[in-house]
Structure 1
């Protein structure tokens, strides 16, 4: 079994140093409790809902302070880290909502950009490419879908077809959309016979309730709706295979159904 952790935290808007310090403490706590994969919420380092001008000030290149700091932390703790951050493209200064997937040796497995932009986010951020790779890490084969990306069935299905065992969903999910959070994440787990780890923030208007969901669509652990904290879960490869044997969605999936774009 592989123990994983979702860090549900409250970010202070635009107070990057404060947020980094808090996140590092949470990561160290999760690692001390045996977690081998640890994920932070969407845009935790900057906070959500800032003006475009502020995001331009706070956004970082992949080689910036935040990702570099957590590369060093991953290596020191020997854990896999999923670290969302506001990314600034070096060439044209475009902004993306991104996540760095960092392996236990501190090396970056990849950068996943949010591909489907929600609401007024499009005034600040560009969508990433609609590509959904599976990252092979020391904690298993995983995909990352940032917030709104999980609301469409196709990205999760494409990850499952590539043999993902876990889909991680760093988010800032609103109270208004809480019903969708409660329905869609378990549905993606069940439909694709994968574990899902939903990692939400807590703040005014945000619903919290980070979740760890089994391949049967059962919510195994759930965080508070209002308080910070860490939720833990265990990835059991035998459970994945058992579910896929009992409910052969992937075995019986017709190739002609595969999304082609």
Structure 2
């Protein structure tokens, strides 16, 4: 298997009022020419059409097909951030925040619905319930999650338990808690001995400050607030070595989790923790 694999995160100016797909294509063509060793590109959450629910499409959709054609044209693996997906139902349509994984042949190899919408602020978006990993042949296994998902460590831990060696994490953060997310991204990489690639947008798509962390917990790159291409050569053998020997040849958290002596009751029976009910409903604060 190949050890090294080039991934470019795209911290792009996102508009909420026009399609951003043409701009995404221009970035991909530029990367294909300037960084021929890059084999995969990752955009920020909701990059193609922006954050308006009115853009939701029934999948497979016209926009997804345009993105698939860009992957085929450039010969790149494409993680285009996400799109709002509309699922029609007699009881009323349901909206999901959905990420498509597109291979260099332009085929949709996986779709992932964001598990944790940013409630109560995203209360009209439904949460998915299936994890998503996919294999790049002769390279390794990749996992995907979206934005608020990473605030729940169980999401990254599950993807890693499914074999993920790289977590691709598009986000759309435009709020004052971005500094906390940077800490969570680094902790997620270290706790799970995994590459964690967290790509934010700018403009209507976020405030930038994308970050890439390696499986030793070292920050490989942290962006500022402007548009930026972030080409990174990930070393999958480094992941495998860290997991065998321990993070920086020290702690071995994945093996320790596997061989633990304790059970986590909070996951088995939430009714055993009445304190959680005492916190009140999940609503926006009004005082």
Same topology, TM > 0.5:
yes
In structure 2, distance between residues paired with 1:74 and 1:204: 24
Please list the CA deviations of residues 180-239 of structure 1 after superposition, one character each: whole Å capped at 9, or x if unmatched.
Answer: 121000111111111011010112693311111100111101222x21111111121221
Report the aligned-residue RMSD. 2.1
Trace 1:85-164 onto structure 2 (pairs within 5 A). Answer: 85-91=83-89, 92-129=92-129, 131-138=130-137, 140-164=140-164
The worse-fitting range, judged by mean Cα deviation, of 119-128 and 249-258 is 249-258
Q: 2:57·2:85 contact (CA, 8 Å) conserved in 1?
A: yes
Q: 1:109·1:137 contact (CA, 8 Å) conserved in 2?
A: no
Rg (Cα) greater in structure: 2
TM-score in terms of structure 1 length: 0.88
Q: 1:166·1:196 contact (CA, 8 Å) conserved in 2?
A: yes
Is 1:14 matched up with 2:13? no
In structure 1, distance between residues paired with 2:221 and 2:215: 13
In structure 2, distance between residues paired with 1:260 and 1:67: 36
Out of 39, 43, 49, the residue aligned to residue 40 of structure 1 is 43
Aligned length: 251
SS at match of 1:122: coil
Q: Residue 74 of structure 1 corresponds to which residue in structure 2? A: 71
Q: Residue 206 of structure 1 corresponds to which residue in structure 2? A: 206
Alpha-carbon deviation of 1:104?
1.8
Q: Residue 235 of structure 1 corresponds to which residue in structure 2? A: 234
Is 1:253 matched up with 2:278? no
Q: Residue 192 of structure 2 corresponds to which residue in structure 1? A: 192
Alpha-carbon deviation of 1:141?
1.1
In structure 1, distance between residues paired with 2:241 and 2:207: 32
Q: 1:221·1:232 contact (CA, 8 Å) conserved in 2?
A: no
SS at match of 1:119: coil
Is 1:61 matched up with 2:58? yes
In structure 2, distance between residues paired with 1:254 and 1:63: 38
SS at match of 1:106: coil
